[in-house]
Amino acid sequence: MLPEDVRALALMLPETIEGAHRGNPDFRVGGRIYATLWVEEERTVLRLSPAHQAMLVEAEPHLFSPVDGAWGRRGWTNLDLAEAEEDTLRGALLAAWRHTAPPALVAAYEPA
Q: Which pLDDT score, from 0 to 100, does residue 50 have?
A: 98
Mean pLDDT of the chain: 96
- Is the residue at 69 inside a domain? yes
- Is the residue at 52 inside a domain? yes
Q: Does pLDDT of 65 surpass 70? A: yes
Q: How far is CA 47 from CA 105, 111, 112, in A?
A: 17, 22, 25
Contact yes or no for 18/83 (Cβ under 8 A) = no
- Is the residue at 13 inside a domain? yes
Q: Does pLDDT of 58 surpass 80? A: yes
- Is the residue at 85 inside a domain? yes
- Is the residue at 110 inside a domain? no
User: What is the pTM (predicted TM-score) of this model?
Assistant: 0.94
Q: Which pLDDT score, from 0 to 100, does residue 82 have?
A: 94
- Is the residue at 99 inside a domain? yes
- Is the residue at 56 inside a domain? yes
**Number of domains the chain contains:** 1
